[in-house]
Structure 1
Amino acid sequence: MSNHIDAATGPASSTVPPDPGAGPAHRFGLPTATALVVGTVIGTGVFALPSALAPYGPISLVAFILVTIGALALAFALAALSKRVPGSGGPYVFARDAFGDFAGFLNAWSYWITAWAGNAAIVVAWVGYVEVFWNSGHTKAWSIVIALAGLWIPALVNLSGLRSIGAAQLVTTVFKFIPLLFMSTVGLLFIKAHNFGPFNGSGTGAGGAVSAAAAIALFSYLGIETASVAAGRVRDPKRNVARATVLGTVACAVVYILGTVTVFGTVSNAALQKSTAPFTDSANAIFGGHWAGDLVAVAAIVSGIGALVGWTLIVAEMPQAAARDRLFPGRFATESRRGVPAFGIVVSTVLASVLTVVSYTRFDKVFTTIVLLSVVTAVIPYLFSATAQLYWLLTRGRAANWPHLLRDVAVSVIALAFSFWSLSGSGYQAVYYGAFCLFLGLPVYVWMKIGRGEYGESVVIPAELTVDGS
């Protein structure tokens, strides 16, 4: 692949062409592309997040604000990159365009793991809200059955075609956003200071608590890149992908921070740590009885299905883009008669199902464990994306006026620092599992290189550089 960049037109041959079968009439416009971002970012993670952050206390809100700043910086970097490289694949094509095939493969492999592992985390949180109505005793076998249904229903929606995906995203995004917006505005009026508990309840220093809470909070923003990943399915991607990325991230940031403050201030910290449906408990505390909490639980269930519909598409888009460049097995590049990457959808859903079952049978804190794994594997594509944007700014952005260049460089540096910080706060176990999953991709890369007939070249070392001169 050529890495040549023309100053006027952008990447020469590195963009992935629009997806075959996705004609203009069947592509996403700006509203649907924004709904895809909001729909995948706001899944059930936000509905379970207050419970995961509760052990750290209100100091986790500081972490949430810092994560939001980093996520916005990353969103602006991704928006700029999507204008430069307007093809499906998002972080994959950004890294490959800037740094070559191996970097592109690592991003595709890592992001693919993030997507199907993230689906497992979303469905675990989703189960907690389903169990408000059924299996309230949290019987493990029934929890697994509910989780598997939550994974495969969205897979069937995806397999039915793009129109079904787009309709599901618009409807579920509206349905989930209204109650969250209500909780993040009206709910603020019902806050009681004593519910917040100790400012730092982690038992560690403030820096360690903020970093650890930030790693969990980052999961809330996974998905801000989804419009760029599915860019080949968006009309006028150079314009709409960038706008959808920024608009979607800003909308999510507002309801995230204010909604979490509402839950922290309306449910006692001790009760919040034990809660499997914190927004339901918050609504019940505000209005009394169970009717309000039940409505929030229904919204969370719909929200989870919408997020899983979006992520099930995205989980197949990244490997499809890489497979078209012969960096992933060719089966991932194929599409069904309905114009969707059916093979990638099915394989990824099977893997998410296996991870879900294993997590329920082996881990006590199922949601937090899977979240941290997803964060580690997601940070790698974010690191490469921020670095790619910084690289292009420093090598091709010199023609721009200095104030704009300095602004864009500063945003990219913040996004890069944010990614490193999130990785450092994930914990040794999550980094270990994430690194292990990443390195599992190396044999696959070797296999794909051999399949392309790339056997490497012998390197001749000059005699004067050898030890004995022979």
Structure 2
Amino acid sequence: MNGKRGGLMADEKKMTVFQLTIITTVNMIGSGVIMLPSKLAEVGTMSVLSWLVTLTGALCLAYVFARCGMLTDNTQNGMGGYAEYAFGRSGNMMANFTYAISLLLANTAMAVSIVGYGEMALGINLSPQRVAIAAMAVLAISMVANFFGSHNTGIISSITVWGVIIPVLLLCTIGWFFFNSHTYIQSWNPHHFGLFKGVSASIPITLWAFLGLESAVANSDSVNDPKKNVPIAIIGGTIAAGAIYIASTNLIQGIVDNSSLVKSTAPFGTAFSYMFNPTIGVIVMIMLTFSCWGSLLTWQFTLAEVFRSSAKAGYFPKIFRKRNRFGAPVWGMLIILMGQLLLSLMTISPNLNAQFNDLVDLAVVTNLVPYILSMGAARQLQLQAGLTTNNVHFKITNFLALLAGIYSIYSMYSCGLLSLDLGAGVVFVGWLLYGLMPHEDD
């Protein structure tokens, strides 16, 4: 009787499909949108072509993830559970390891972007060393806030998310009244890129914006009926985020001139200053700073959960499994935080945007490894689910998995050789650690 009561209570605490869709959308928007306009301005408004490429690739990824979610019971290890169908336990480990490293890098980049918005909101100019210290403080606060469990994280995030929703919705509605087609056309290719180079240069940052489409998979054990609800959350969240991204970033590039936008570390605040006045711009900067921190809070929790689930599966050290009385894996969180603080020091740069770029490019490369492994496993996963090669859904999923895989490899190339080299290093470290970890057959 008590056991049944406990099970019912556990189910009641699980998310609905609407909540998971919102979280998936917010994970993408909160982690990507606030710095997008400035980064895309480095290419120009021709970056809209990159959006078309990236949105196509993201939807292919989303569809295949959705199909995988519907066909497998192996959802507790996220993308690693999918990779295991084709690549065994080592594939599962590598998907989880590179995804965890990607989140560690991405969360550090988010902290840097929060500092950039805070700088402009307060009207100060921090030295590179002080930027690093401020980013470290943001990371520490966001991780410690998760020590009290996911319930508190959810409450805080549900409040702070309005800091990005309100400005973005306002921009996407009333921003059209301030849009200048001449400004937009003048900014088409201000840096004189060739077509292929211009599109390729924008791919990493547009894909960065969609990192998070897989977060519904990572949180699949937190929602009722994951086979049905995870696919809905992934596709719905990707479409919603894509529409918001394309509308908002292109609007800003028609409101703010390219030279000002490139220099801005708080592009949404700059846009609202152009539309109204500097005071409104500062208010928007403050709102987005808190919103991005709320998103970081959620991602820090997700990162700790990835490490915990991987440790539970035997891929990471057992210390990441230990929880406190609030259900938070505190010791793992502290280890993760130490890595993030070290990254903040290692990436100190005189240019905040350059520091952000370095972290983003490597985060994208490492995040693409589990994407590619998952796409490569789609065929075997479907076969083991009982589908035949003549099944129309089997053929469609295989074709889209191939397209998504090609897109992922192209995106890796677009991140540059340095990021590819560092990403390869991360993979080799993963294999070394996996070899040294005890296995089930030891």
Q: Which residue of 2 aligns with 1:192?
A: 180
Q: Structure 1 residue 453: deviation in Å?
A: 5.3
The 2-side partners of 1:221 and 1:61 are apart by 15
1:74-85 mapped onto 2 (5 Å cutoff): 74-83=61-70, 84-85=72-73
The 2-side partners of 1:338 and 1:86 are apart by 26
For 1:429, the aligned partner's letter is L
Deviations along 1:144-175, one digit per CA (max 9) or x if unpaired, are 33212221222122111121122223223344
Instruction: Determine if the alignment matches structure 1 residue 321 to structure 2 residue 302.
Output: no
Give the structure with the higher percent helix: 2
Q: Which residue of 2 aligns with 1:57?
A: 44
Q: Quick one: which of 99, 104, 115 aligns to 1:116?
A: 104
Q: Which residue of 2 aligns with 1:241?
A: 230
Q: Which residue of 1 aligns with 2:398?
A: 409
Q: Aligned with 1:326: secondary structure? A: coil
Q: Quick one: which of 260, 263, 269 aligns to 1:271?
A: 260
Q: Structure 1 residue 280: deviation in Å?
A: 0.8
- Alignment TM-score, normalising by the size of structure 2: 0.91
Q: Aligned with 2:348: secondary structure? A: helix
| 1:285 to 1:64, Cα distance in 2 relative to 1, 3 A | same
Q: Which residue of 2 aligns with 1:335?
A: 323
The 2-side partners of 1:40 and 1:162 are apart by 15
For 1:370, the aligned partner's letter is L
Q: Structure 1 residue 177: deviation in Å?
A: 1.7
Q: Aligned with 1:339: secondary structure? A: coil
For 1:297, the aligned partner's letter is M
- Alignment TM-score, normalising by the size of structure 1: 0.86
Instruction: Determine if the alignment matches structure 1 residue 161 to structure 2 residue 149.
Output: yes
For 1:110, the aligned partner's letter is T
CA contact 1:44–1:303 (8 Å) conserved in 2: no
1:413-452 mapped onto 2 (5 Å cutoff): 413-449=402-438, 452=440
Q: Quick one: which of 11, 20, 23 aligns to 1:24?
A: 11
Q: Quick one: which of 110, 123, 128 aligns to 1:140?
A: 128
Instruction: Determine if the alignment matches structure 1 residue 103 to structure 2 residue 91.
Output: yes
CA contact 2:308–2:329 (8 Å) conserved in 1: yes
| 1:44 to 1:135, Cα distance in 2 relative to 1, 3 A | farther
Q: Which residue of 2 aligns with 1:48?
A: 35
Deviations along 1:221-261, one digit per CA (max 9) or x if unpaired, are 11111121121222222222222222221211111110000
Q: Which residue of 2 aligns with 1:259?
A: 248
Q: Structure 1 residue 39: deviation in Å?
A: 2.5
| 1:204 to 1:21, Cα distance in 2 relative to 1, 3 A | farther
Question: How many percent identity over aligned positions?
Answer: 28
| 1:134 to 1:144, Cα distance in 2 relative to 1, 3 A | farther
Deviates more, 1:180-189 or 1:310-319: 180-189
The 1-side partners of 2:299 and 2:395 are apart by 35
The 2-side partners of 1:193 and 1:437 are apart by 44
Q: Which residue of 2 aligns with 1:9?
A: none
The 1-side partners of 2:382 and 2:13 are apart by 34
Deviates more, 1:189-198 or 1:314-323: 189-198
Deviations along 1:100-147, one digit per CA (max 9) or x if unpaired, are 011111111111110010001111111111112336223334323321
The 1-side partners of 2:380 and 2:66 are apart by 15
CA contact 1:92–1:318 (8 Å) conserved in 2: no
The 1-side partners of 2:403 and 2:8 are apart by 38
Q: Which residue of 2 aligns with 1:3?
A: none
| 1:208 to 1:55, Cα distance in 2 relative to 1, 3 A | same
| Structure having greater relative contact order (Cα 8 Å, sep ≥ 6) | 2
CA contact 2:187–2:257 (8 Å) conserved in 1: no
CA contact 1:82–1:90 (8 Å) conserved in 2: no
Deviates more, 1:181-190 or 1:123-132: 181-190
Q: Aligned with 1:131: secondary structure? A: helix
CA contact 1:35–1:169 (8 Å) conserved in 2: no
CA contact 2:74–2:82 (8 Å) conserved in 1: no
For 2:40, the aligned partner's letter is L
Q: Quick one: which of 286, 298, 316 aligns to 1:298?
A: 286
Q: Quick one: which of 363, 366, 373 aligns to 1:374?
A: 363
The 2-side partners of 1:22 and 1:345 are apart by 26
Q: Which residue of 2 aligns with 1:179?
A: 167
Q: Aligned with 2:121: secondary structure? A: coil
Aligned pair count reads: 433
For 1:33, the aligned partner's letter is L
The 2-side partners of 1:368 and 1:387 are apart by 28
Q: Which residue of 1 aligns with 2:3?
A: none
Show structure 2 runs of 5+ residues with no match. Answer: 1-6
| 1:76 to 1:170, Cα distance in 2 relative to 1, 3 A | farther
Instruction: Determine if the alignment matches structure 1 residue 219 to structure 2 residue 218.
Output: no
Q: Which residue of 2 aligns with 1:39?
A: 26
Q: Structure 1 residue 447: deviation in Å?
A: 0.9
Q: Quick one: which of 211, 216, 219 aligns to 1:230?
A: 219
Q: Aligned with 2:161: secondary structure? A: helix
CA contact 1:48–1:125 (8 Å) conserved in 2: yes
Show structure 1 runs of 5+ residues with no match. Answer: 1-19, 455-470
The structure that has the greater radius of gyration is 1
CA contact 1:86–1:238 (8 Å) conserved in 2: no
